[in-house]
Amino acid sequence: MPAEHSWLTHRIIKFMVRCRSFFLFLGMDEFSLLKKFVSQFVTFNEEEWRYHQSILTRRFIKKGEYILREGEVCDHVTFINSGYFRIYNTVKEEDLTVNFSFEGNYITDYVSFVSRQPSIDNMVAMEDAEILQLQYTDLMTAYEKYPVWQKFGRKMAEYILVFVVTRNKALLYNSPEERYLRLMKERPKVMERVPLQYIASYLGIQPESLSRIRKRLATGKGA
């Protein structure tokens, strides 16, 4: 793709995810994306949806702002309405990217959230973002109040487990080029919006290695 086209595409994407009026024009409110996501796993009745909305806190996060830092106990589950976050660990003074979470999805440190132990993760906004946060104590109350919430919690735990196991297997058994090709196919938002240095970190390789892979693929010499 020519550089000017890539730049234009990037600007259009940023406009669409940041511009609140765009979503309002489509008749969407701050809970529309959340409802769409949750409906993949469970069905809430009207009362359950009202309760869900009542225990959420809406926040606007600036690019570069953290919603979790290493050493803090993760006390919230966050749904992203717009923007995206990078999750990373710091090991021997090197930042290692664990994941990226985009609008229309949840983000949390599940281990810290459940165990109530300090997190090893950092979660930073890579763009200006709008989020909906659910606190730990409110979620525990929801579990007690509505049985459907327990089902939702189990489904989400399974969802997270499948993702983690799949990613770990890819790191163990797939070559860097195979991981890159899979990322291109399965997570196009990463390719469109994430700087290459963080993509390389997520793939478990150095930026120079990623550049060589991209060059091979561009010239049709990939494995």
CATH code of residue 116: 2.60.120.10
222 belongs to a structural domain:
no
74 belongs to a structural domain:
yes
Q: What is the largest CA-CA distance in the chain?
A: 58
50 belongs to a structural domain:
yes
99 belongs to a structural domain:
yes
- Tokens of residue 171, six digits: 């790191």
Give residue 30's pLDDT: 86
Cα–Cα distance for residue pair 206/86, rounded to 1 Å = 17
Give residue 25's pLDDT: 39
67 belongs to a structural domain:
yes
Give residue 11's pLDDT: 56
83 belongs to a structural domain:
yes
Give residue 12's pLDDT: 54
Give residue 29's pLDDT: 77
Residue 146: domain span:
3-173
Give residue 76's pLDDT: 96
Give residue 155's pLDDT: 93
Residues 6+ apart with CB under 8 A from 174: 182
Per-residue pLDDT of the chain (223 residues; tens, 9 = 90+): 554 555 555 555 555 545 544 443 344 578 999 999 999 999 999 999 999 999 999 999 999 999 999 999 999 999 999 999 999 999 888 899 999 999 999 999 999 999 999 999 999 999 999 999 999 999 999 999 999 999 999 999 999 999 889 988 988 899 999 999 999 999 999 999 999 999 999 999 999 999 999 999 988 765 5
82 belongs to a structural domain:
yes
Q: Residue 70: what are its φ and ψ, rounded to 5°?
A: -50, 135
- Tokens of residue 104, six digits: 């229309």
Counted domains in the chain: 1
Q: What is the pTM of this model?
A: 0.82
